[in-house]
Amino acid sequence: MNTNKTTIIEGSFEGKGLKIAIVASRFNEFITQKLLQGAMDCLLRHNVSEADVTLVWVPGSFEIPLAADCLAKSKQYNAVICLGTIIRGETPHFQYVASETTKGVAKVMLDNNLPVIFGVLTTDNIEQAVNRAGTKSGNKGFNAAQSALEMANLLKQIGKKS
């Protein structure tokens, strides 16, 4: 029930003036490049200036949290978007990389009070990854950028810690 007394706060998707950092990992780069294209498409279509985007490449998803933390601590950005592709192999390696990357990104976000968006695919096979990188299931890079815009604008309203 909305009695018109409720205060509702939400972030818009307006990107004008926002400074965005993207951390992308080279492992499975052929997929991650598609996520990056999707993310840039979203940012530019929502009025983020190309000059206000910084792109940082890291070797693999495991290294994403460290780079994201450095970018967050620089206080130069309204949001950090993390893009990577982790595909299950024959060993438990996938599990360790996926788990540490996920935990790491979440930690960086909370430690820095900044939107740090999880645009990392974790899939059972290459087909699932392709489906999420601009084919059957959309483009998760585009979705990640949307989340970054919404959260950056939301944090402008609720993000100040006393």
Binding mask 133-162 for ligand INI (x = CB under 6 A): ------------------------------
One residue of 59, 76, 95, 159 binding ligand INI per CB under 6 A: 59
CB-nearest residue to ligand INI: 60
One residue of 13, 14, 19, 27 binding ligand INI per CB under 6 A: 27
Choose one: 8-16, 37-45, 54-62, 145-153; the region binding ligand INI (CB under 6 A). 54-62
Nearer to ligand INI, 38 or 84 (CB): 84
Of 45, 74, 76, 93, the catalytic one is: 93
DSSP string, the chain: ---S-S---------TT--EEEEEE-TTHHHHHHHHHHHHHHHHHTT--GGGEEEEEESSGGGHHHHHHHHHHTT--SEEEEEEEEE--SSTHHHHHHHHHHHHHHHHHHHHTS-EEEEEEEESSHHHHHHTEEETTEEHHHHHHHHHHHHHHHHHHH----
**46 assigned to active site:** no
Looking up tokens 């939400």, which residue turns up?
10
Choose one: 58-66, 74-82, 125-133, 153-161; the region binding ligand INI (CB under 6 A). 58-66
Site residues for ligand INI, 69-128, by CB under 6 A, read 84-87, 89, 93-94, 97
Residues within the interface to ligand INI (CB under 6 A): 25, 27-28, 59-63, 84-87, 89, 93-94, 97
- Catalytically active residues are 93
